[in-house]
Amino acid sequence: MEYAQVMISLQISLLLIISQSHILPLTTSKIPSTSLLHPPNKLHFHHNITLTVSLRVGTPPQNITMVLDTGSELSYLNCNLTQPTTLNNQTQPPFDPTQSTTYTTIPCTSPTCTNRTSDLSIPASCDPTRQVCHATLSYADMSSAEGDLASDTFHVGNLDISDTVFGCMVTESSSNPVEDAKTTGLLGMNRGSLSFISQMDLRKFSYCISSGLDEPGVLLLGDDQNVTEWLGLGYDVTLNYTPLVRISDPLPYYNRVAYTVQFKGIKVGDKILDLPESLLQPDHTGAGQTMVDSGTQFSILLGPAYTALRSEYYDQTKHILGDLGEPDYTFAGVMDLCYRVPCNQTVLPDLPTVTLLFEGADMQVSGTDRLVYRVPGETRDNDAVYCFTFGNSDLLGVEAYIIGHHHQQNVWMEFDLEKSRMGLAPLNCDLAVQKLGLVY
């Protein structure tokens, strides 16, 4: 679920299977047997602004690159054969369903079309001419995609996941077509019945996002191991868990298949903001839920919470960073607390930490790279423009809190669907990648 402008990068990944008591590097060619019903599989992804993983789809397999998106349900691939995409200055063809012997469209009469698409923002419809299920996806950044609901075999490492349902899209409109064209599609990872995680029947997955703009991260599909045990990092890594909130009754502004947590407050430095409890939980319409979304870059707060955070952060930083001095300037449509920093200043001063408080767990946003973002191409005389990495939902028109992946950097993020909880732990993701043997 993409709420801000994005850029794309990628790298292919390998498979790792871990037994219940051992860890092996990804470069190992022999894979031990395991008693796990669904053995853990590790993919590593790269990000500069959007997270991507590389898979293979079809028979014979075609290499594809997909955005990792915990905010979306239905995965989709670009199937427009007249529009090849470009990545790393090389032509990347779209997925060609005509070259796959295992590809099939979903008929209108299939329960997958009539029942399982009910949680999509736009339920599937029927193409009466071909009697094929038609899928339409739309996102808050005004991008959209249309095409057939179809199925094919997805290859993840040495696992062949047959009959995986996805959207084979032939029409796309994008808010950022140049960057969006650098991937083959999107990997939906939320709790909906058609998400990739649900179709794999996985009860747990985790990821760790490195802080460098072109550094690999790691995605773990499955696993029941303690993070410290299998990473072997030599220091304590204790996951703190917050419950995943789920309601059964449909509400107009509530996403029932999102990874929703209970927001408890915000702290700037040592000061807890004075926010009413009613502002931090959904109202009777469902507006105000807090979603964890790897498909959104920066974090978005409801207007009153953002205003309080902006005011406090400005007060604590106005003597550290120079004010941009342009009240009407907004970056990416949602961020309006911006600063001027001399272009030749390579190291920014220490900035106050922002701590997001959840039920049972906290997420600390520290370090200048996570707290302020240099706006590409924007300068004022000899100064660069930096903006605070939290945005205002009122400027976006979204009635929700969204925890974006920029603030998930160097945090081990575990999504435990079996116990309906999310685990967080500060972790040097670069070190984790090295320990796991993930390489370009």
Q: Which residues form the catalytic set?
A: 69, 293
CA triple 243-248-250, angle to 5 deg:
120
Instruction: Find tokens 């005004």 and name the residue.
Output: 142
> Assign residue 21 a region: left if phi > 0, alpha if psi is -120 to 50, beta otherwise?
alpha
Instruction: With H, G, I as helix, E, B as strand and everything else as coil, classify residue 177.
Output: helix
- Could you tell me which residues come within 8 angstroms of residue 228 by beta carbon, excluding any fewer than 6 positions away? 235, 236, 237, 238
From the CB of residue 209, how many other CB atoms can be counted at a distance below 10 Å? 27
From the CB of residue 38, how many other CB atoms can be counted at a distance below 10 Å? 15
Contact 232, 266 (CB under 8 A): no
Using a 10 angstrom Cβ sphere, with 0-12 exposed, 13-18 middle and 19 or more buried, the burial of residue 296 is buried
Instruction: With H, G, I as helix, E, B as strand and everything else as coil, classify residue 175.
Output: coil
What distance in Å separates the CA atoms of residue 353 and residue 371, rounded to the nearest whole number?
8
From the CB of residue 206, how many other CB atoms can be counted at a distance below 10 Å? 21
Sheet of strand 383-388, all strands in order from the earlier edge strand to the far edge: 322-323, 338-342, 383-388, 372-380
- For residue 60, cis peptide bond before it (omega within 30 degrees of 0): yes
Angstrom CA distances, 293 to 68, 227, 327, 386, stand at: 10, 22, 29, 23
Helices (H), 223-367: 227-231, 303-317
